[in-house]
Amino acid sequence: MSAMIEVAGLRVVLPPAVAAVDGIDLVVQPGEFVVILGRSGAGKTTFLRTINRLVEPTAGVVRVAGRAVTGADAAGLRAARRQIGMVFQQFNLVRRASVLDNVLAGRLGYVPALPSLLGRFPAADRARALECLSQVGLAHLAGRRADTLSGGEQQRVAIARALAQAPAVILADEPTASLDPALTADIMGLLRTINTERGLTLVVSQHQLQTALAYATRVVGLRRGRVAFDGPPAAVTPVVADAIYGETR
Amino acid sequence: MRRAALFVGLVIFGWLLWDTGADPVRFVRGVPWMLEFLRRMLPPDVQVLPSALAGALITVEIALLGTAVAATLALPLGFVSARNVAPPRVFYPARAVLNLFRSVDTLVYALIFVAAVGLGPFPGVLAVVAYTTTSLAKLYSEAIEGIDPGPVDAVTATGATRLQILRYGVLPQVLPLFLSYVLYRLETNIRAATVLGFVGAGGIGFYLQTYLRMIDYPAASTALLVTIVMVMAIDALSSRLRARLV
C-alpha cells in the first residue's frame, strides 16, 4: 500500500527569519495514529498547518493520499484539502451559526458552489452532516447555536465537521489543550474510535507526554523544527523524552 | 517644551477668536432678539401640520431608501477594502476611493444631484446613497478586519472556494455588526435628510426653509417640532433594535 502522507525536505521560515520547521522528512502509512510531541514553539502547529497549506512552506514537498499539496493550483489544492480534515485547539466553530451549519461547512468542497453561497445544501449532504453529528453523540444539539455548547461539545462538533469531509486523514492541532483531563480522555478516545473503526489516518499534536503515549501507534518528537524522535510509544524512554523536552541540547 | 506648546496653543486660540470675529458682547446683545424670535414662533400654527407631516414622511422615505440601497452597494466594497480579505493590489485603490468619496458630505452631494437631476426627493436619495455607501463600506471593512481568523482557517481547510470561505467563515461573524451599522447610519441619515430640503432635495427641510423665508414663524415652529419628534422616534426605535443585535 502506498503512503498516506509524504513529507520531504519541509522548511518553513516565518518572517523575519525564524525557521519554524527546519527540514522535516516524514512518511505516514494508512491507518496510523501519529502523535506529534514537542514543547510549545517546537514547530508542531506550523508543521500540521503546512500539510494542508494553511501555512505556505518555504521549501519541500507534501503529498497526501496520492495528491500533491505543494505545487497544486487553486483547484488542485481544494481537492487535496477536501480529503484532509482538520481539528483545532480553539475548535474554530462559527460561534453564531447553528451546530448543524458548522458541520455542513465540512461538505463545502463537495456541494454545488452557487446554491451553497445561498445557504442551500443538497438533502444527501444534510443527511451526511447529521450522521456525522450522531457519530460524535450530538445529533440532539443540531439546532443549537454553536457558542451555547460546552468546550468538549464544541470540539466534538469540530470533529463532526472534519468527518463530514469524508476525509482520508484528520490533522488535529492540540485538540485537548483547551480542555480538562476528563474531556481530554473523552476527545482522544473519540479520535481513537475514528482511527480504529473508520481506518482514518490521524496526525495529532500533543504537548502532554502521558496522553500521547496512551493513544499513539507512533510517536514523532519535534525539537526546534526537526524530528528528534520517531518510533513506537513503547520506545519513548526517559532518555528519549529528555531529548524532546529537555532544556539542554 | 510643555510651556512652548501652551503658548502656541494660546496664540492659535487668540487668532481664531480674532479671525472669526468672535465677540461675547455681540452675543449678549443678540439674546433679546433670540427671545423675540422664540416668542414669535409661539404658538405653533397647527394648520400647517398636514403639510409638515407630509414633508416629514418624505424625509423618512429619502433616508430609508437611500440607506437601504447604500447598505447593499457597500457590501462588495466593504470586502474589497478589508486588508485581511482583499489582495493588496485591490485593497489599496479601494481604500483610496472610499476616503475620497467620504470626504464630501451628504449636503454637498445633494447640491450636485439637484443640479444634475432637478428638484425633489430623488436627488436627496442619490445624495444619501453617495455618502452612505462609502461610509458604510469603511465600517464594514473594519468589521471584517476584526474577525476571529479561526473559523476562516477551519472553513478554508475543508477545501472551500474563496467565496464559500467569505460566506461561511466571514459573513456569519460580521452580519450582526453590519446590521447595527446600517441602523446607526439610518439614524444619522434621518437627521441629514432634514436639511436636504434646504438645497431643494425634498422633505421637511423644504417646508421649514419656505416658512422661514416667508417670515411665518408659527408655521416654522410646527415644522421644527415635527422634525424633533420624528428624529427622536426613529432614534429610539433604531437604538432598541441595535441593542438586540449585538
Is residue B37 situated within a structural domain?
no
**Single-letter code of the amino acid located at A70:** T
The stretch B47-57 carries a mean pLDDT of 88
- Give pLDDT tens digits for B120-131: 889 989 999 999
- Structure confidence at residue B195 as a pLDDT band (50, 70, 90): confident
* Nearest CB to B160; choose among A93, A97, A109: A109
pLDDT tens for each residue of A161-196: 999 999 999 999 999 998 998 899 999 999 999 999
Instruction: Using CA coordinates, name the residue in chain B closest to A102.
Output: B168
The per-residue pLDDT for A248 is 53
**Residue-wise pLDDT tens digits, A58-68:** 999 999 998 99
User: CA–CA separation, A205 vs A36, rounded Å?
Assistant: 4
Comparing alpha-carbon positions, the chain A residue that sits nearest to B167 is A117
pLDDT at A247: 67
What mean pLDDT do residues B195-209 have? Answer: 85
Q: What's the whole-number average pLDDT of chain B?
A: 89
- B161–chain A Cβ distance below 8 A for any pair: yes
Domain presence at residue B119 = yes
- The pLDDT score that the predictor gives to residue A169 is 96
* pLDDT for the residue numbered A51: 95
CB atoms B169 and A94 under 8 Å: yes
- Rounded alpha-carbon distances, angstroms, from residue A140 to A131, A135, A172, A177, A238: 11, 11, 25, 26, 45
Q: Do residues A236 and A217 lie in contact, with contact meaning Cβ atoms separated by under 8 Å?
A: no
Of B176, B211, B162, B191, which Cα lies nearest the Cα of B62? B191
Does residue B133 form part of some domain? Answer: yes
B26 within some domain: no
Section A134-160 average pLDDT:
94
pLDDT tens, residue by residue, A91-133: 999 998 999 999 999 999 999 888 899 889 999 999 999 999 9
pLDDT band at A141 (very low <50, low <70, confident <90, very high): very high
pLDDT for B158 beyond 80: yes
B30: pLDDT strictly greater than 70: yes
A194-217 residue pLDDT tens: 999 989 999 999 988 888 899 999
Helix axes B106-117, B121-145, angle to 10 degrees: 140
The mean pLDDT of chain A is: 92
Amino acid of residue B208? L
Q: Which of A88, A107, A161 sits opposite B150 (nearest CB)?
A: A88
pLDDT given for residue A92 in this prediction:
95
The rounded distance, in Å, linking the Cα atoms of A184 and A191 is: 11
* Distance set, CA A15 to CA A20, A50, A119, B215 (Å): 10, 16, 38, 70
Q: Is residue B16 part of a domain?
A: no
User: Does residue B237 belong to any structural domain of this protein?
Assistant: yes
Domain with B151 in it: 44-245
Nearest CA in chain A to B148: A92
The residue of A45, A98, A104, A108 whose CB has the most chain B CBs within 10 angstroms, and thus the best one to mutate to test that interface, is: A108
Inter-chain CB proximity B159 and A81 less than 8 Å: yes
Alpha-carbon gap, residue B129 to B146, rounded angstroms:
25
The domain spanning residue B51 has which CATH number?
1.10.3720.10
- A27 in reach of chain B (CB within 8 A): no
Which residue, chain included where needed, has cell 447598505? B71
What DSSP string runs through B11-62? HHHHHHHHHTT--HHHHHHHHHHHHHHHHHH-S--GGGHHHHHHHHHHHHHH
Please check the confidence at residue A27 and state whether its pLDDT lies above 70.
Answer: yes
Nearest to A132 by CA among A34, A198, A192, A79: A198
Q: Does residue A92 belong to the interface with chain B, where contact is any CB pair within 8 Å?
A: yes
A205 has a chain B CB within 8 A of its CB = no
Comparing CB atoms, the residue among B157, B160, B161 nearest residue A86 is B157
Domain A1-83+167-249, CATH homologous superfamily name and number: P-loop containing nucleotide triphosphate hydrolases (3.40.50.300)
Q: Do A81 and B158 touch (CB under 8 A)?
A: yes
Give contacts of A116 with chain B, Cβ < 8 Å.
164, 167
What pLDDT, on a 0 to 100 scale, did the predictor assign at position B1? 78
In a domain, B202, yes or no: yes
Mean pLDDT confidence for B147-164: 94
Task: Report the pLDDT value the prediction gives residue B246, as an integer from 0 to 100.
Answer: 65
For residues B123 and B113, what is the distance between their CA atoms, to the nearest angstrom? 5
Number of structural domains in chain B: 1
Q: What are phi and psi of B42, to 5 degrees?
A: -105, 145
Spatial separation of the C-alpha atoms in residues B96 and B75, rounded to whole Å: 17
Q: Where are the domains of chain A?
A: 1-83+167-249, 93-166
Please tell me the predicted confidence (pLDDT) of residue B150.
94
Reduced to 3 states, what is the DSSP secondary structure of residue A20?
strand
Instruction: Count residue pairs from A and B with Cβ separation < 8 A.
Output: 79
Classify residue A108 by its DSSP letter. T
Classify residue A179 as exposed, middle or buried by CB count within 10 Å of its CB (0-12, 13-18, 19+). Answer: buried
Spell out the residues 6+ positions from residue B45 whose beta carbon is closer than 8 angstroms to its own: B216, B218, B219, B221, B222
Q: Is residue B36 one of the residues assigned to a domain? A: no
Q: Which of residues 168-187 of B touch A (CB under 8 A)?
A: 168-169, 172-173, 175-176
By Cβ distance, the residue of B151, B158, B167 closest to A82 is B158
What are A10-21's pLDDT values in tens digits? 999 988 888 899
Query: A116 and B153: CB-CB below 8 Å?
Result: no
* DSSP labels, A143-205: TSBGGGS-HHHHHHHHHHHHHHT--SEEEEESTTTTS-HHHHHHHHHHHHHHHHHH--EEEEE
Interface predicted TM-score (ipTM): 0.92
Of the residues B79, B158, B166, the best mutation for testing chain A's interface (the one with the most A CB atoms within 10 Å of its CB) is: B158
